[in-house]
Structure 1
Amino acid sequence: MEPSLRSETRKKVAEDVGCEAGDEVRASQRDIDLELGIRPRPGWVIEERYDMRREMQSIVPNLFLGPYSCARDRPLLLTHGVTHLLCILDEREARIMRVVHPDLVYHFINVSDSFSENLIPHFPAAREFLQQALANSSHKVLVYCNNGMSRSPCFVIAYLMEILNWDFPTAYGYVQNRRFCISPNDNFKLQLKEYQPIHRARMAFMNQSSRPDDASSASNQDANGAHGMQRHGAKRRQYEEDDEYADHYGSAMNESSSRSTARGDIEMG
């Protein structure tokens, strides 16, 4: 995401929750496993209505979350200006829930709503699609699964953790305060919590690698070359270990795949 767009997103989020963009926003659902770090925070939840689960909600600027029924509703998509759809469906659902709007851009991620499913291997593909779409301020994205309560919220939560550097409880609480009915299974929530150190280690390594060397660092490298290389090697190994952990965590998903289409041009079996 471009810095200007990231800044705009941060500002809008801060305005929506009435706090600075790094402050905590806690979840209000009282029966969430407290060991995951989510605590109730009264007063932050939008008015709860049962029929809201059938609607789509704006989470951050140009990013919506909702159920499949909203993805089918062409007038609704036009009203909100939706141009891209991130579809979190398993193979059976994808065969039934075919693309119906050929002028929109779709990206399918093959994930089932089961306790044994692994989400972490699919987060990078979702992030890339969302970043490319939202880099254009005229684009708007709807992220959806069957009912918009379990799988698709997890991908939105992971995205906010990445672009805003929020921890899991903060991102979870913020998304739930926008769409109160989200209810990922305990395995999905645990994966989101475990994804936090993975993506932060990746970002730390990327920031370290992209930092330009100045004259003083170059001279220090000659004086302390062995020590500097040892420290850099340790950081690199830590990053690689985190990536290896993510790969290992998703090893059961080797048969899963992400399918992408542009302008609805997709062939589904």
Structure 2
Amino acid sequence: MSASLRSLRAAVLALTMGAAAVLGLAQPAAAAGEHYVALGDSYSSGVGAGSYTSESGDCKRSTKAYPQLWKNANAPASFKFVACSGATTTGVAGGQLGALTSSTTLVSVTAGGNDVGFADVMQTCVLQSEANCVNRVNTAVSQMQTSLPGKLDSLYGTIRARSPQAHVVVLGYPRFYKLSGTCIAGLTETERGAINNASDVLNGVMAKRAANAGFTFSGVADEFTGHELCSGDAWLHSVSVPITNSYHPKAAGQSGGYLPAFRSVA
């Protein structure tokens, strides 16, 4: 091979590798060394997305949940998916952190909604009066501002102690309703607005505690904009059968909402 041809091939290779890095095509190779643990509640386990693994039982871990989708695309060195439906911050701390080690390099977690009674809030709003709904939402908001920060600090501190070198990503919750949207029945606009506000408050509390712990917070409200309930193209279940799917992301919400939010910072 002539020197000029070798030089040309080297230049082409350098340009190709540079373009791949710019376009993010080199990410799977970079992720090959990751030891990833997925913690959290139903929004991480994938309730509502279907295709639950038999081993996960009532935890309902879905093959369509964002942790599994990220793993499939990036082939990390190891992957432990232990998120579980219904988990509170205490539940995550007591039942999931055994998956963490000093070798863990990447962690994702959603937790906090169950601590403030998310399921009870939505049940109250669906079944009771507007006044009762707003009062229940306000009670949850009060818990977010008083008792939840300490619970998050405790959980985040334990995660850091178990995996001191890990990049920890805390993911938020979607804003549930498009106001003045397509819905002609169901909750009132006042109820929908109160629920959206509660979601914003919860995400704000989580973001602050995550920052204080040195973790990365990634919200999903932007990804779900245009795909809320009453948008005409919802990535969230409304009141559904089975009832456990209600107000959880569909498979499209995991792949189009949570996965991009995680991938952008992971």
Q: Above 0.5 in TM-score?
A: no
* Higher RCO (CA-CA < 8 Å; seq separation 6+): 1
TM norm structure 1 = 0.29
TM-score (norm 2): 0.29
